[in-house]
Structure 1
Amino acid sequence: MSATQSTQELLQPIGFDTPVAESKTVLLAPGKEWRVRVPAESKLTIKIVYGIAELFGTELANGIEYTIQCANIAVYSVDHVKLEWKSLDALETTVSADTNMPYLYNLHFALEKMRLSSFDGPRILVVGKASSGKTTLCKILCSYALKSKAYTPIYVNLNPQEGAFSPPGFLTATPISDILDVESTMWGQSMTTGATKLHNKQPMVKNFGLEMIAENRPLYMEALGQLAQTVDGRLKNDPLVRRSGVIIDAPPLSDLDESYTELEVAITKFNIKTLVVCAPDDSLAVELSDRFQALVRSIVRIPTSRGVCNIDDVARRALQRSQIREYFYGNGSTVLSPYTIGVDLLDVVVWRPRSTLTIDMTKETPNMTELERVEVTAANLQHALVAITYAPRKSTADEVLKSGILGVALITEVNDAKRKMRILLPVPGRLPDKAMVLTAYRYLE
């Protein structure tokens, strides 16, 4: 070996064993679903080589890689499809022709007829048990509404445990004006998280702040009623949105009381015309028909897809954590840069909702819709998610309760000795001189 060759070998970069995911190929016939469950700690990359394929009703572009995390997905093949996927983790995938997509097509066409025949579009409430495919159905119906014409349906999320254009803990109503972000765990970005090319209309947000509806049912009813009133105002002032209709995703039936009072309030407040039941058989639809047939015009059952996965508490916590992180930092396709500021504790006023978990209901019967002041200390606020309201900082509890939500902030540090705190905001700027409401959610970076 010459001296020149020896020098060249020494100058070669040192090789590190960087794991590389092996790409795998799947061929799908029309009408098939490719299903996979992606845990929070895993990452899946998919690419459609050729053919027409949909994810949550959104058509996937050919030759573009999509990164999926913390989600259960089913890619539906409209045409002959060649799909490539890769992951560093061992993910279990299945292909099935047993899908409920034909029923969803029929429901979509029925909603289209309603939009064409009246200036008042469809108003549907999607109900079902936990992990019955309610949210997936809503995503597909919203996506399909955008395909044929420039409709702008309002998607309403009434489940505080799931975030839709917001972190968990809130009830939201968002006009869907563009394609959904299939890589997002919370439907996509909104104006509250900074600049974005999607959803140029501000989401309507009401704070519930607790994890379970049972912790404060009167407060949940109050937030639901306020959101319905806001949605009604948007429908009256926007003819396109009114014709596009409202699609409401209800909480799991297990979170409601035995008489389904929350559903009755939602049907009444939102003027629901159609009840869509996600269930494997007719028993639940018959039960709800006996209860609500006088309040709605029609009740439709959509069979639960066999690809639906049960979400346990660990997976739900992981999804909530992912949604909080995405709100501030974005995802692979939309990277956001949050802003940390320091403020004096005296400049902050924080309220919180009451919870039956912290109140002895046998000794007192407080007004559960009233907010209570929170002492600004590290024990109460460290790593807490707070809602920044439109109400001025010195507003009363009732004014704060009725106020809309300007955005969400994360209190990353509270120093009791120096009387200072650090707050993470989704956009640069000073902390608004507004009252804040403490939520039950915490996030430690």
Structure 2
Amino acid sequence: MPKPYVLQKEQELRIEVREGHSLTLKLVKGQAEVFGTDLLEQQIYTLRGQKLAVFSWEGCEVQLQGVGEPVEDAIEVIYESDDTPMREYANVHNLLQTRREAALASKFEGPRTMVVGQVDVGKSTLCKILLNYAIRRDCAPTMIDLDLGQGSIAPPACIGATPVEGPIDVEEGLPVEMPLVYFSGNVSPEPNPHLYRHHVERMAALLDKRAQSNAEVGAAGMVINSMGWIDGLGYELILHSLKTFRVDIILVIGQDKLYSQLSSVFRSDRRMNVIKLTRSGGVVMRPREYRKSSREQRIREYFYGPRNDLQPSSSTVPFTNLKVYRVGSGFAAPQSALPIGGQSYSNPLKVTQMLNMNDLLHMIVAVSHAQQPEELLSANVAGFVWISNVDPVQQTVTYLAPCAGELPAPFLLAGTLKTYFR
């Protein structure tokens, strides 16, 4: 039986659906939204293992119903709260929208906004809200995801960018068509921060050209989701990204120290605004096992779809059909192992072909747009395949691809990302 919930003005219903379970959500009357996406009255939305909040500015009634089971069995946590940061978020949107309109009128660039904070503070949620509110005002900002572990635009181990021209779907997430994607091969930049910086710089340069060639794109600006590694090298990489993308609005969620650090760094930069925002009480800390499971689910969705309704294709090809490369020449030798006066060198951007195909088993591999090996560092990614089997006797590789047909190019990039989702 459906279970009704009534929300008062500026109240939200926080829901955590159990992993592997589903329930349906229906707006019976009133106004409600999920991360800035308006719910349509009487439309049924299916929620699968999600954590979300149904917020209402004016009050509403919604119904929840379990799929093949009682609502209580499908839900991990559910409660109502009127302690939300939505007013703050709406004020930020108004600031961004004012700048977009001024930029379009004067043919300048619009706001470039980066959301920063440690893991599990609601960075991705805030990005969704700001994007959806911009869409309501007929703007299409560029969404950029710099979190290698997140996978909101592409599978994990990538940074990605895409224009957002329609509301973010409550069931399927971010609408992504022809994204700009770079593959690092790792879910953290720590193994090769030089490669991470290189990809950030390459992406920023291409997006700058796009913004300069289209006044509406430039005025709409950017919404950038950063990684949750905010100390040491992670902090240095965030600073690098801020400067490379020429960010002018930094939104710091719930981090006094980070807010103080960034305010100090950019104190003399008059164009920079550093704004501290409240962390939502609905945000929960997720254990490492949950984040790993979420990454595997994100990879599975790439091949099978959020609703498990896609039919990926399996192909078996000879070793000679694929040319697989890795970026980076590994760690430099320790100084103690060198002759007196000797120096150790490594090239973190060196592109090396993989000769042992057995190492590819269960690996997620990126298919590059590169036409020559020397283009692998600069070319973006066309898509991904999963190596399901390596047969050293027959000298063949079996891979899973989202669709049938030959790969668009023979050059592939590998890292360390493996999954056993099938």
TM-score by length of 1: 0.86
- Given candidates 354, 358, 370, the residue that maps to 1:374 is 354
Aligned equivalent of 2:318? 344
SS in structure 2 opposite 1:441? coil
Runs of at least 4 residues off by over 6 Å: none
Distance 1:355 1:58 in 2: 45
Check the 8 A contact 1:152/1:244 in 2, yes or no. yes
**Using a 3 Å threshold, how does the CA distance of structure 1 residues 188 and 247 change in structure 2: closer, same or farther?**
closer
Residue 324 of structure 1 pairs with residue 279 of structure 2: no
- 2-side partners of 1:131 and 1:321: how far apart? 18
User: Could you tell me which residue of structure 2 aligns to residue 122 of structure 1?
Assistant: 111
Distance 2:19 2:334 in 1: 38
Partner Cα separation in structure 2 for residue 405 and residue 130 of structure 1? 26
Shift in alpha-carbon separation, 1:60–1:255, aligned structure 2, 3 A: farther
Pick which of 415-424 and 106-115 moved more: 415-424
Could you tell me whether the CA contact under 8 Å between 2:329 and 2:346 is conserved in 1?
no
Of residues 86-95 and 234-243 in structure 1, the stretch that sits farther from structure 2 once superposed is 86-95
Tell me, in whole angstroms, the C-alpha distance in 1 between the residues paired with 2:419 and 2:85. 37
CA distance in 1, matches of 2:356, 2:17: 39
Contact 2:143 2:161 survives alignment (8 Å): yes
The number of residues matched between the two structures is: 403
Distance between the aligned counterparts of 1:443 and 1:57, measured in 2?
32
Map of 1:11 onto structure 2: none
Contact 2:28–2:60 under 8 Å retained in 1: yes
AA of the residue aligned to 2:12: E
Distance 1:402 1:256 in 2: 27
Give yes or no for contact 1:214–1:255 (8 Å, CA) kept in 2: no
User: Counterpart amino acid of 1:128?
Assistant: G
Cα distance change of structure 1 residues 389 and 331 upon mapping to structure 2, 3 Å threshold: same
Q: TM-score, normalised by structure 2?
A: 0.90
Match of 1:139 in 2: 128
CA apart distance, 1:354: 3.7
Looking at structure 2, the residues matched to 102 and 416 of structure 1 have their Cα atoms a distance apart, in angstroms, of 60
CA distance 1:409–1:317, change in 2 (3 Å) = same
1:227 paired with 2:207, answer no
Cα gap change, 1:345 to 1:311, in 2 (>3 Å)? same
Matched, 1:243 2:243: no
- Where in structure 2 are the equivalents of 1:259-274 lying within 5 Å? 260-274=235-249
Bigger Cα displacement from structure 2, 293-302 vs 228-237? 293-302
- Quote how far apart the aligned CAs of 1:77 are: 1.2
| 2:48 counterpart (69, 83, 92) | 69
* In 2: Cα distance, 1:300 partner to 1:215 partner: 31
Counterpart of 2:168?
180
Counterpart residue identity of residue 300, structure 1 = I
Aligned equivalent of 2:140: 152
Contact in 1 for aligned 2:11/2:81 (Cα 8 Å)? yes
Q: CA deviation at 1:246?
A: 0.6
160, 164, 176: which one aligns with 1:190: 176
Which consecutive residues of structure 2, in runs of 5 or more, have no partner in the other structure?
A: 338-343
- CA contact 1:216–1:355 (8 Å) conserved in 2: no
Secondary structure of the equivalent of 2:208?
helix
- Unpaired segments of 5 or more residues in structure 1? 1-21, 192-201
Number of the residue aligned with 2:149: 161
Give the distance between the partners of 2:241 and 2:287, measured in 1 at CA: 26
**Distance apart, 1:136 and its partner CA:** 0.5
Q: Sequence identity of aligned pairs in percent? A: 28
Give the number of the structure whose alpha-carbon radius of gyration is greater. Answer: 1
- CA drift of 1:279 comes to 0.9
Q: Which amino acid aligns with 1:331?
A: P
Counterpart of 1:424 in structure 2 is 400
Q: Distance in 2 between matches of 1:360 and 1:210?
A: 22
Q: Give RMSD over aligned pairs.
A: 2.0
**Does the 8 A contact of 1:204 with 1:230 survive in 2?**
no
Task: State the Cα distance separating 1:359 from its structure 2 match.
Answer: 6.8
TM-superposed deviation, 1:360: 5.7
What SS is found at the alignment partner of 2:83? coil
